[in-house]
Structure 1
Amino acid sequence: MEQHIEMIKKWLTINTVSEKVIPTGLTSSLKPQPSKNITVKPRPIGKKSKNCKYVLKILTCGPLFTELKNSIDIYLLQEHWLFHCQLKLLNDILHNYNCIGKAVDSNDPITPWRMPRGYGGTAILWKKDLDSIVTPLTIGNNRIQCIEINGDPNLIVISVYLPCKSSTNIQTEFQECIDLLNEIMTTYEQTHQIIIGGDFNEEIFGSNSSMRQKYIVTFMDEHRLCTKQVGKTFISANGSDCTAIDYILFQETFKESIINISKCEFTANISDHYPLLLSLDFEIPKSSNKKTEFKPKVKVKWDKADLSKYTEIINEGLLTSLQDMKTKDDIEKAIRNKKTAFYYWKVNGRPTDCLDPFLFEKKITTQELRKLCRVEAAQKRIQDRNEIIVASSSNKTLFYKLIKQQRGKLSRRIDELNVGDNIYNTPDQIMEGWKKHFGQLAENTLDENFDTNYLKITENEYKNIIEHCSKILDNLQLQYKKLLKQILSLNINVADPAVYLISGLLPTEAEIHLKILTMFGNITRANKKSSEWRLAERQLQIKSMDSNSWFIDMKKICIKYDLENPLSLLYNELSKGKWKKMTITAVHKYWTTRINEEIMYYSSMKYIPKSSFKVGKIHPLALSNSANQRDINRIPIRIKIATGTYILQTNRAVYNQNIVDPTCKLCDQAEETLSHFLLCCKALDQIRTPILKNIICKCSELLALQYTNIQLDILQLIINPFHYACSDESEIDISCKIEPLCRQLIHNLQ
């Protein structure tokens, strides 16, 4: 059976009537009004609601459908401007049509109150007569709506609304939609005839040679899609036809089934697009009409019936029923006979002689009753077995009934357990037997067809990847520290905490951990039906701490920074701000404590007090108060002295393989230690004395205001005067008045 399926697209754009431009040739008297034939029941909206006018605009399509009546089988709609909670209004447009649609917020529906101005959206309407062959599909994004129609061949109908040129991220979003269409075509083009209709927002036959046009044309060429030029389909604001951006695409292999594609001019059309009409030859299978078939009552023609067969079937049914009734009657009769025989046996003194007629009658009636009970029990077992055989898998009542019967009473227990050739009787032995049994089940068994060589190769590759990644991370940390040392003009052998203390930066490990925690935070805020969220839930629930899973590594990070269980964080979603604050605070606290503790274990850092490291704060020793290049050039030697990496004669004597004299080469009187170099070397007295007096004078003035009783260590004061800073104000004073003098002294002495 053949039937024409006619599809029309672009019948409606949701704009107010006052804003809609009437197509050329139509007068203002033809402006559409709400149709009386369409009953739309939107949810109650207050008079002051901004959403009311957008909901009521769906009524303006009434005159168009009144004009078309039932001449169209399928409608492809674009730009219905409804949100997800309003899609049900599409079903109220035509009472003899069903609808499926998508809104711009279908992936993340907004609340039904205080909705913004609507935009976009796609939908498909079809006659209810076609329900038996139409299957809505969920493929594509919110700009693509698809249905499948069963026939010969099967048909995929796609309503598409591509992004316009004025939208943001136009090229990326446009290409994404085309890629989705390409995926749909690749999936169904071998088994289905595919029709794509909609607003492409781009001229296919134009000469502009834009990236968008090339992308569409390439897509059409790859899948051998064709269309027909029907002229300009879009009406500009001045009422003139300006461009063709609406098309219906079809496969070249099914070109013969396309009867016609035409541009229609309906008087009731209020859109700024002309509707396109497709006539298609399509064969609907006969099975699709089962829903509407009329089944008349059948009258038995007894003169032509096989009465003997009918009599046989009736008799079999009656015999079965009579047997059931007879069995019950026989059991009741046997019970009465048993009670009567027992009564007479009891009244006559309970005789025990086997030849006594009353005892004999009692035994006979008991045997007869037991026989009938066994027969009834056997029939019951057969009925139960047949019930299980014919029962469906969704019969939960029967399932739980069988489970309950299988478990039995709680008083039942195992008295003996056989495992292999061993028998276990006592409770302890039975537990040992179970342990042995399940241990055997857990052992690996060799499969002759299993490729063990491939397994070994895979395991080796996996181990190599893990080892290689570990080496990369280790190398990354080394290069990171090396780069910081070069920037600070420090020796390569300087203590690692000194690098972080001076720069105020975190180690590479901490930065990577922050990135991992940020990514997990994004997963916790994702949709609970998303693959990432479900994978995180599964891995965190079933994987052990020995696993190499990314989520287990993240779990170890949470333990390291004293954060909550990641599974709890997954279920109890935190906002982005709270998550960021929690993770950054935890990571900074951990590394601040750790670096400050490590400083105490390095003798070269003894002049820098603990608790000096603060994340993001450069140490004042490495800061300059001015842009004076001379002052900046003094910073490297200043930092080397503070971090204990300035090479003196005593250092050469200790670490040199050859014998080196640790005596100061300037004065030749004592070993050249740091205190000797800065305070005692007589060869440098002429340089040291005036600057040192100035330092002591300035320091006395500043510290006298802060401390009542303090003993100054001159060496500590020269190397790190900020040791005596008790507040931010005093730190600023030291930085401006004392630190420049200390830098000058060290620079002049070198």
Structure 2
Amino acid sequence: MYRTSPKKSDFISLRECIDQLFEIIQKYELTHNLVIGGDFNEDISKINNSRRALKLKKLIDECNMKVDFKGPTFINVKGEEISEIYYFIYKTKVIHKTSRLTDVASNVSDHHPIKITLPCKFLKKKDILESNVQSRIRWDKVDINKYINIITQETPMLKRKLQNQQNSVTTTIEQTMEMLSNTAKKCSAQKTYGKNKLKLKLWNPEIKHTLHQNKIAYKNWKNADRPNDPEHPLVIDKKETRKLFRTELRKEENKRKHIERDRIITANTQNKRLWHNHFKTLAEPIQNSTYDSKHQKLCDVDYQAIKYLCNQASPRIVTKSELLEAIKSINTGKSEDIFGLSIEHILNAGDDFTDFLLYLVNIIIHDKLIPEIIKLGLLSPIFKNKGSKNDSKNYRGIVVLPILCKIIEYIARIDFRPI
């Protein structure tokens, strides 16, 4: 807080300080509970018409703030409490408790300190090392019966909302995929922490040596019936070896931070952009002057003819046996899709969910429109084992499509086979 002597020449400094406080209050009063405290070197607890006091009172009045006066805080050379120059200024809505500390044995100054108590709520800091990568579901650890029961209970509501047109097909797909993913996580065995011995993430010969010395010192201290005397040689040895061990850990951690920082600074920042442009080019059609335009026109004619015939034909009805054949045709143990699902989520969902899935697939085929949400995929770049690994053109993209898309694709191929 601002602190200055009550000289006339310092009024300009006080005015500038109060103007800065006014700007801070105006900026943050709607989002924060403000408290200003310190040595104001001006007593406003009694009638005081000095320029300094009037300027300070004006700030308090304009900002709708309040002051609690707890008594004199300054003691003169005669030992007399003569003025109150320490106080807190705060918004009236703040729940507070202020007090003047007159019995602090360690206080040797000519001022009484003041204290304010405020209610605070601290949120647990999120672990910055937390990974966004979700672990795969281990189906040998999942309670299948519980999984089937939960899916069976929630499926009728999804079907009812789809039948009553309360939800669109896209919304129903989103809710279905989310239900399968969350239920599998809920029914899988939770990984236990704390039972296994934690492993050090940092390691080098120096850390190994200091840790060994610390264990020896701890063992000696333990064998000596754990003495508590701070001057005992074993206690001192245990503390010193522990201190050296932690010092080596911090050294190695700082060393790795510097290496990582240098790597980031010296890295080619264009690589990510080249990578993005490469796969964007593969996904978008481009005009090629060397392409056979006659052949392209014939392809367009065939496309329009096939599209016309499909629009004229009545939608086919997928049978349950065809759906089960499509589900069983997809290999198990594969990577999960963008919804966090694998074919195991559907294989283990039970007969009631299979009936609901059959109804959903027939709705999609009847509408003759594949929802965009099941066309989304996870792109994984795979190196072609030739050329430089730093060149994005030497990678090919492998896309993991949603499970529902794979099922519909297999059903569509059933009609393609006789052609």
TM > 0.5 between the two? no
Structure whose alpha-carbon radius of gyration is higher: 1
